[in-house]
Every structure is written in C-alpha cells, then in structure tokens.
Chain A
Amino acid sequence: MQDSKRNERTVELHIRRQEKPGAEPRWEIFQLQWRPNLNVIAVLMDIRANPVTADGKATTPPAWDCACLEEVCGACTMIINGVPRQACTALIDKLEQPLRLEPMSKFPVLRDLMVDRSRMFEHLKTVKAWINMDGTHDIGPGPRYSQSLALERYKLSECMTCGCCLEACPQYGPHSKFIGPQAISQVRLFNSHPSGAMSAATRLEAVMGPGGITDCGDAQNCVKVCPKSIPLTESIGVVSQKTTLHAFKKLLWFGS
C-alpha cells in the first residue's frame, strides 16, 4: 500500500527551452515518476532517455552542460527556482515544485540550458591570474608559508569559474564592463602567494581602471550564492584597500 502510494509521487519540471542563440525561448513542462535520491541531473537524464512533455508530446532532449557531477567543475550551473547553482547538488526532495530550470541570464544562451561563459576566462587574463614562473624545470622547493595562509588560499582557490556570483551581481552583465567578484578574488589569491606577491602591483592595476573594483555596487549578492562559500565580499574589501594604498603610493612616488 505504502509502496504503491510512493510510486504515484511525481516530479514536475518546467524547463526554459531555446533552440539556438537569438531564437525565441519557450517553456516546456515535464512530469516524471519520483524516485529516492534524485537530483536535477538525474531528472534531466530521465527526460533525455524519454523526451516527452507532460501533455504527451514528443520533444527534443533538453541540452545542458555537465561534467564532474560532484560540484568541483562548475559546468552544470543553471538557474533553479530562481537561484543560480549547480544542477548536480540540487536535490529534488529539497526543492519546491514545480521546479523551474532556466539558463543563466548574464551569458549568451547557446541552446536550452547551455550558455557561453568564455567571458569569465577573459577576466582571468585581465587580472593575470597566474604565478609568473621561471620555468617548469626542477629547481627545488617553493617558498615556505604558514598553514593558515594555505587554508586561506585554498578557500579562494576553490573557485570553479561557475558564474553564480556574476549571475547574482546587479553590476555584472552584457551591459557593463565590470569584471565581477570571481576575478577580483583571484587577485587576492595570487597576491597572497609569496612569489605571486612579487607582481602584485600589475594585478592591482588591472582592477583599477574602468570595469574594475570601483564598479562594485556592494550589493553583496555574490557571497550569498557562491556554492563554495568563498568570502568574495571580503576579497573585494581586501583588494579595494590594496588598490587605494597602491594608488596613493604611486601618487607619492610620482610626486617626489
């Protein structure tokens, strides 16, 4: 009795579909049988294997990006019930139904739930998010630093370029030049490494111009949606302070 009742449970899903860039978006409704331990990915996989809408019409399998399914690659980011997050960690039993899946709005839609986030990688180029190395040949150990710094850097380095923070940021989008919290936090990450600190100034200068740190409107949405709880607003604070100091120093230097 209980079992048969359980089998009647369903999952209702509304997916925003779009065939290609520029095409008119439309909503499609799907209804599936509930199973324990479902996440959004498993539901999308079910639909893919049997692409029929709730009213029985055959449709195409929805397209979405995914790779690791362990929330370490960032690929499956989409808007689920209005919140940007990874589909793999979105557990059906913890979500309100009907579920609403939409592509992120701050990036061009490629198809259905797939978007083009290449702009985020361009931001990483802008802020020179790397250590300037002498070469990969074997030249012995790296610099010593404390465990507490390692922990701080690890937290910042968990950023998987998923785009949640940018989706939530009112200043970020096709309308603006703002590079957003993810890239600014990377400035802090690299400037806190003993070797990275040697080229700290170039990274600070990269966020001092238009589209840089002063474009942050302090809405503090970014930190709320970061799936890795990266202290993004703290990073913005730290980098902001350093840029001010750097500008001041430069002024004095030119003045003298």
Chain B
Amino acid sequence: MAKSHRLIVVGGGLAGLMTTIKACEAGMDVDLFSVVPVKRSHSVCAQGGINGAVNTKGEGDSPWEHFDDTVYGGDFLANQPPAHKMCEAAPGIIYLMDRLGVPFSRTPEGLLDFRRFGGTKHHRTAFAGASTGQQLLYALDEQVRAFEVAGKVRKFEGWEFLGMVKDSDGADAKCCGIVATNCVTMEVRAFRAAAVALATGGPGLIYGKSTNSMINTGFAAAVSYMQGAKYANGEFIQVHPTAIPGEDKLRLMSESARGEGGRVWVPRNGKPWYFLEEMYPAYGNLVPRDIATRAIYKVVYDMGLGVNGKPVVYLDLSHIPAETLRKKLGAILEIYEKFMGVDPTKVPMQVFPAVHYSMGGLWVDYDQMTNVPGLFAVGEVDYSIHCANRLGANSLLSCIYAGIVAGPAMAKWTKKLKTYADDLPASLYESAVKAHSQRIDFVKKMDGPENPFELGRELGEWMTRNVTVVRYNKKLEETDTKIQELIERWFRIGVKDRGEWGNQCVHYTRQLYTMLQLARVITIGALKRNESRGAHYKPDSPERDDANFLKTTIAMYEPPRVPGVGFGRPREAGEHAFSYEPVDVSLIKPRARKYDVDKGASAAAVVQPVASK
C-alpha cells in the first residue's frame, strides 16, 4: 500500500473542526485531539452570532464595509489582507453553515435573519437563538462524525497535547508530531504527523475568573511558544463589558442583548443615566467592547456610580416586550435567570466587565502556519485578524475562516515533504515521550507547602487587577515581579493527590507552570507598548502612536527547549525576547478611531476598494 501523510489537529472547537473537515476534503486523514469530547469545546459559549455582509436588509452593506469595520474596530493593528479575505468569505461561510443545518433565526420569507452588533451600523450578524456558537459547533461536530464513520478521522478525546515533536535540533526543524497524555489513564504517547494544527483557544484561565471555559488554560500555546513558536500581540486581551459576576466564573451576557435594544445605565441623582448613549451618541449602547468597558470602569471607579455602591451597572431589557425577548434572546435570558434567580424581562440585569478573549496568540503567516515549519495555528490561539480589539460576532467567523485556510494549506504543505513521518527514526519520538514523562514525574513528586489552585487564584487576581482595562507601567512591572515570585513558589507546590488515574491536580500543576510563563509574555508586552490602542489603554500614554507602535509585538522564548520543556526557575529558564514587526496596512489607510461620531466622519481617508477581488 502506498504511504500516506496523516495530519494532527489539536482542539475540537470551531477552528479545529473546520480545519479537520477541510483537510479531509483535501484528501487527508486526520487525528483529532481534544481534552474534552469535541462537542463540549469552548465555542459553545459564543452566544450572539456570526458576522457576514449578506446585505438582505437594504442597508447597502458589503464585505468591504465589514472589512473596514473590522480593521477600524481593531484600531488598525491587523494585517489587512487576511482580514479582507475573511470578510469576503463571510457570506459564503454563513450560507455553508445554514446548509449544514444550523437553525438560524429567519425572516417571514424564510430567509436568514440578521441582527446588529457592536462597532457597526449594519444588521450583519446571523444568529441561532442565543447560543449561536453552540449551534455552529454542533453542525461541524456532526460533519466530523460523518468523516469519522467514513474512516477519515480518528478522535482522541480526553487527550491533552503536551508538546510538539520536531524532526531535528536545528533552527529549521520541522514539526513532525506531538506528545499527548490521556487525562484519565495518564498514559504519555507520541503521535506522528506530517503537520500539526493547534486549535486550542484562548488563555482565559490565566486571569482566574473570566468568561472562558475551564479548559482554556492556554497551555498548548504556551508550550509551543516555549518550544520556539512566536507569540504575537499577547498584551491585547479583550475585556467584555457585560458579564454576570459569579463565584466560579464570570458568565457572559451577550452583546446581542444590546444589539436587540438593551440599554446600559446607572442611577444618578435618582434617575437612570444612560451614559453610553450620552458619551457616544453615534453608536450609543453598541460601541465596541473596549470602549464600553472603559466607560463602565470610569462610571463605576472614577465617578463612584456603581449600582448600590458595588462594581456593577444595569443592562436593561425590561422596556422590550417579553415575547420578543424570549424569541430572540431566550437562551441567554435563561442563563441569567438560572444563575441569578431574577427574570431579566422584568428587572434590569446587573453586569460588569470580564476578561473574554485574547486577540493575541501564536504568530501565523497568511496560510495559518507558525514560524515552526509544519506547525499551524487556527482560531483564538492565533493572533491574526482582530489585533487591538475584536468586534463582536467576528470570532466565530474567524475560527471557521482560519480552518478553511489551514485545512488545504496543510494538505499542500505535505506535498513538499520529502520524508513521511512514519519513516522518521523512532528515537525522535521516544526521547520526546521520555522528556515529557520525566516532567510529569517531577510534578507527581512535588511535596511542598503551596497549593497549585491557590497559586492560580493569586495569578488571576494580579492579572485581572493590573493587566486588563487600565494599565500603568509601575503596576505592570510589579505584576511581572509577582509572576516571577509565583514561578519560584511553583517549585514549592505540594501535590495532594498521588493517584495514577485521572489526577487533575497533576494536570493543573503542570499547566500552571506554562500559564505563568505566558502571563509574563502578556504583562511584559503591555509594559513595552507605550501607547493606547484598542483594548490596550494606558492613562500615561493615552493616544495611539502609529509612528512607534503600528507594529505587531513578537515574543520569542530563548533558547527554546527541544523537544520537551524543562521547568526552570526565572533565572535559569529562557528569556522572553521581544521584537516588533510592521503591519500590512496596504488596503485602508489608518485613521483616528472615534465612536462619538459616525465612522466615515472620523476621516475621509477611506481608500476605495480598487484592488478588491
């Protein structure tokens, strides 16, 4: 039988599943790894919708307009060609998902319905109830299951990626597989592949409580970074303006609540003050997330106007007929009711900003390949498209789009390979397994006074306080020092569970080490960027500085550890080296970003789409 190339996809959310499907269609066989059954991936949490300029509302919307909103919303830090291509592909992606059976909300004519989201003036967001991410994920999960039945896909659910395997120690080493561990049996095994795609989502758990799922540790990205992959724009962390405070997590209250007419207010002088509407008359409650979040911070912390003196504001839907709300926002209103025990159609919801999304991530080229040949990254784990700030309902789109690019690109990559992964020496994989097994054994034997979950909580508190909405260099420096202290203390962790089976304590302790390293990348990146842009805001340098910072931040771990990653104390470990890369702004000339006036009014310098396809 002729030899064939196999691919590995790590992560079974929207991006991973789309990559898998596209790779299968390109003739490849795929091994799909996921820490949870793929149907339980974090994509389920996306509520509001998916953007695409289908233009069925007579508003003159177009992919170019969507593209302009996207790069304007992202404060011009995006490389424009891939963002442009994504917006061009968007209507086709929505049609595809409709064909696959996603129960999108519809118009009286039976066409797709669209709602408004933040940062745009157009009805451009297709939605399925109020759990659009869940519905899109299920549609792709079903198609992957069909490929699984057809023998094209092998699933490894309940397996966690530990690191990539490279085919040499050289600077041009290619990724030729992964080492993974079974979360229950704790078995450590190497898997060969012609190329690997990481689709492992964001690092929300670094912030302790966030809107992210409990699986979003950022571990896979952090390990790959420590093995030599570039990490880009780590400092750009989106804080969603409206989340429901909780003891275990901060639950998202979708932007669609505002898209359907929800108003944000606090009591002032005995009357409701609709501060977003007053501060930003052109966009009102539908300003982009970074703008809304900062306004809420200002009202709550600077002006002391939080509801009942607490850090919360009202998000009010009670003026909209309950029937309309149930139909359009049913699932998210249920969430509020279930967790808070209050009916949001009658009483205003109490919300506060929460860490939500990482615009930064692994650096990728326009084929979604990282700087490590053969290692691809797709979805939230990659840095492309959104840059300084992501627009609502662009994430589901970018995940699917990344998969559409990566699947065929990986298939094409295998054509260039001169060797099959199966022909590489076994010693390569055996030594990788040995290195990772040794690390896990090291963790299992840890016997100090510190509790890993408490350390994680401390990290989260520091990061949330100092590396989110308002950033001061002094605080950032202190935070970096603190993280280094936490790394020192990590070595004094005591693992309370000596079990050889489903040992979540060992898994978390191992993850925490790399989370601490990634926290440093985020913090130092923020410290070095002395300007304000999108989600990154420094009161001491309040303006955007295109002359010095219209650049992508690139972090590299030096020297990278191959094939495993040694645990090292801050002084013994590698250095986080930072550099900057120019941004491709060839399609739309950067202009000032303002939401108190209409977009076009901020500058007349919109380049016409002469070169667009």
Residues of B62-121 whose CB lies within 8 A of A: 89, 92, 95-96, 98-101, 103-113
Our count of residue pairs bridging A and B at CB distance below 8 angstroms stands at 202
Residue of B112, B145, B214 near A69 (CB, 8 A) is B214
In the complex, whether B247 has a CB less than 8 A from a CB of chain A is yes
Residue of A70, A117, A153, A196 near B251 (CB, 8 A) is A70
In the complex, whether A91 has a CB less than 8 A from a CB of chain B is yes
Query: Contacts A19-B501, A89-B339, A130-B145 given: A69-B249 contact, CB under 8 Å?
Result: yes
In the complex, whether A201 has a CB less than 8 A from a CB of chain B is no
The answer on a CB contact under 8 Å between A91 and B110 is no
The answer on a CB contact under 8 Å between B44 and A72 is yes
Stretch at the interface among A2-10, A55-63, A244-252: A55-63
The answer on a CB contact under 8 Å between A68 and B42 is yes
| Alpha-carbon gap, A38 to B341, bound state (A) | 12
Residue of A60, A68, A125, A195 near B40 (CB, 8 A) is A68
A124 neighbours in B (Cβ, 8 Å): 142, 145
Q: What count of chain A residues pass the 8 Å CB interface test?
A: 72
A70 neighbours in B (Cβ, 8 Å): 45, 249, 251-252, 335
Residue of A48, A132, A133, A157 near B453 (CB, 8 A) is A48
| Alpha-carbon gap, A154 to B138, bound state (A) | 11
In the complex, whether B21 has a CB less than 8 A from a CB of chain A is yes
In the complex, whether B22 has a CB less than 8 A from a CB of chain A is yes
B489 neighbours in A (Cβ, 8 Å): none
Residue of B106, B129, B215, B247 near A146 (CB, 8 A) is B106
The answer on a CB contact under 8 Å between B37 and A117 is yes
| Alpha-carbon gap, A160 to B112, bound state (A) | 24
The answer on a CB contact under 8 Å between B213 and A69 is yes
The answer on a CB contact under 8 Å between B110 and A49 is no
Interface majority SS (helix, strand, loop, mixed), chain A: loop
| Alpha-carbon gap, A48 to B246, bound state (A) | 18
The answer on a CB contact under 8 Å between A147 and B248 is no
The answer on a CB contact under 8 Å between B247 and A72 is no
The answer on a CB contact under 8 Å between A158 and B131 is yes
The answer on a CB contact under 8 Å between B110 and A146 is yes
In the complex, whether B502 has a CB less than 8 A from a CB of chain A is yes
Report the minimum CB–CB distance from B570 to chain A (whole Å).
Answer: 25
1/0 contact trace for A94-119 toward B, CB 8 Å? 10000000000000001110100110
B105 neighbours in A (Cβ, 8 Å): 147, 150
Report the minimum CB–CB distance from A154 to chain B (whole Å).
Answer: 4
Report the minimum CB–CB distance from B511 to chain A (whole Å).
Answer: 14
Nearest A-chain residue to B249, judged by Cβ: A69
Query: Contacts A60-B497, A60-B499, A110-B184 given: A121-B39 contact, CB under 8 Å?
Result: yes
The answer on a CB contact under 8 Å between A142 and B45 is no
Please indicate which of the listed interface residues B103, B146, B214 has the most CB atoms of chain A within 10 Å of its own CB: B103
Residue of B36, B95, B131, B335 near A67 (CB, 8 A) is B36
Nearest A-chain residue to B340, judged by Cβ: A37
Residues of B116-173 whose CB lies within 8 A of A: 128-129, 131, 134-135, 138-139, 142-143, 145-146, 148-149, 157
The answer on a CB contact under 8 Å between B99 and A41 is no
Residues of A43-82 whose CB lies within 8 A of B: 45, 48-51, 58, 60-61, 63, 65-75
Report the minimum CB–CB distance from A188 to chain B (whole Å).
Answer: 13
In the complex, whether B268 has a CB less than 8 A from a CB of chain A is no
The answer on a CB contact under 8 Å between B504 and A121 is no
1/0 contact trace for A158-177 toward B, CB 8 Å? 10110000000000000000
The answer on a CB contact under 8 Å between A145 and B501 is no
B498 neighbours in A (Cβ, 8 Å): 60
B569 neighbours in A (Cβ, 8 Å): none
| Alpha-carbon gap, A58 to B494, bound state (A) | 13
Report the minimum CB–CB distance from A179 to chain B (whole Å).
Answer: 15
B96 neighbours in A (Cβ, 8 Å): 136, 138
1/0 contact trace for A125-161 toward B, CB 8 Å? 1001111110110111111111100110110011011
B497 neighbours in A (Cβ, 8 Å): 60-61
Report the minimum CB–CB distance from B407 to chain A (whole Å).
Answer: 9
1/0 contact trace for B530-546 toward A, CB 8 Å? 00000000000000000
In the complex, whether A88 has a CB less than 8 A from a CB of chain B is yes
Residue of B44, B109, B213, B214 near A160 (CB, 8 A) is B44
A71 neighbours in B (Cβ, 8 Å): 335, 338
The answer on a CB contact under 8 Å between A91 and B341 is yes
| Alpha-carbon gap, A220 to B175, bound state (A) | 53
In the complex, whether B451 has a CB less than 8 A from a CB of chain A is yes
In the complex, whether B229 has a CB less than 8 A from a CB of chain A is no
The answer on a CB contact under 8 Å between B99 and A74 is no
The answer on a CB contact under 8 Å between A67 and B40 is yes
The answer on a CB contact under 8 Å between B501 and A193 is no
Residue of B37, B104, B213, B501 near A150 (CB, 8 A) is B104
1/0 contact trace for A186-198 toward B, CB 8 Å? 0001100101100
The answer on a CB contact under 8 Å between B109 and A69 is no
Query: Contacts A67-B214, A130-B146, A135-B25 given: A75-B251 contact, CB under 8 Å?
Result: no
Nearest B-chain residue to A36, judged by Cβ: B247
| 3 smallest beta-carbon distances between A and B, as pairs | A142-B98, A144-B110, A130-B142
Residues on A lying within 8 angstroms of B by beta carbon are 19-20, 35, 37-39, 41-42, 45, 48-51, 58, 60-61, 63, 65-75, 88-89, 91, 94, 110-112, 114, 117-118, 121, 124-125, 128-133, 135-136, 138-147, 150-151, 153-154, 157-158, 160-161, 189-190, 193, 195-196
Residues on B lying within 8 angstroms of A by beta carbon are 18, 21-22, 25, 36-37, 39-42, 44-45, 89, 92, 95-96, 98-101, 103-113, 128-129, 131, 134-135, 138-139, 142-143, 145-146, 148-149, 157, 184, 213-215, 246-249, 251-252, 327, 331, 335, 338-339, 341, 404, 451, 453-454, 457, 496-499, 501-505
Interchain residue pairs with CB less than 8 A apart (22): A20-B502, A37-B247, A38-B247, A45-B248, A49-B454, A60-B499, A61-B497, A67-B214, A67-B215, A69-B213, A69-B251, A70-B335, A73-B36, A73-B44, A124-B145, A131-B142, A132-B146, A142-B95, A144-B110, A147-B113, A157-B135, A195-B99
